[in-house]
């Protein structure tokens, strides 16, 4: 499967600041990447689907102006949490779609804590 990395692995920020999380596909050209959010002891919830070179498709209830997604290349997608608030504290995980369209390979996640 594809090897996926995320940076940073952990970030702590003050309320009102913006945070950028990077997702890289290290050995696979990913035309589609996904961003998930996971609260403690909960399941993964899909936030948005990111296609290289086009606008992301957001799931219902996810604010596109708050969670900015950029997928400028086949190996990099970024998620920017704008004007972060404590309720945005969560574990953010990205994944890439595999060669078989219904496969996904996940990154290690980024723990965001907003003070």
Residues that bind other proteins (CB under 8 A): 1, 4, 6, 32, 34, 42-46, 49, 91, 93, 95, 97-98, 101-109, 111
- When the beta carbons of 74 and 82 are compared against other proteins, the nearer one is 74
- When the beta carbons of 19 and 95 are compared against other proteins, the nearer one is 95
Closest CB 102 distance from other proteins, rounded Å:
4
- When the beta carbons of 48 and 84 are compared against other proteins, the nearer one is 48
- When the beta carbons of 14 and 101 are compared against other proteins, the nearer one is 101
Closest CB 65 distance from other proteins, rounded Å:
23
Reported as type and span, the H/E element at residue 16 is: none
Closest CB 115 distance from other proteins, rounded Å:
20
- Cβ-defined contacts of 7-14 (< 8 Å, 24+): 7/110, 8/110, 9/108, 9/109, 9/110, 9/111, 10/110, 10/111, 10/113, 11/110, 11/111, 11/112, 11/113, 12/113, 12/114, 12/115, 13/84, 13/112, 13/113, 13/114, 13/115, 14/114, 14/115
Closest CB 66 distance from other proteins, rounded Å:
22
């Amino acid at each position: 499967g594809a090897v996926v990395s995320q940076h940073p692995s952990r970030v702590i920020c003050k309320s009102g600041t913006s945070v950028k999380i990077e997702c890289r596909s290290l050995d696979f050209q990913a035309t589609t990447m996904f961003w998930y959010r996971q609260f403690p002891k909960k399941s993964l919830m899909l936030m948005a689907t990111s296609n290289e070179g086009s606008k992301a498709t957001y799931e219902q209830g996810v604010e596109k102006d708050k969670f900015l997604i950029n997928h400028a290349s086949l190996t990099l997608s970024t998620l920017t949490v704008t004007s972060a608030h404590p309720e945005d504290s969560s574990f953010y995980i990205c994944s890439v779609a595999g060669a078989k369209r219904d496969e996904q390979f996940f990154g290690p996640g980024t723990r965001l804590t907003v003070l």
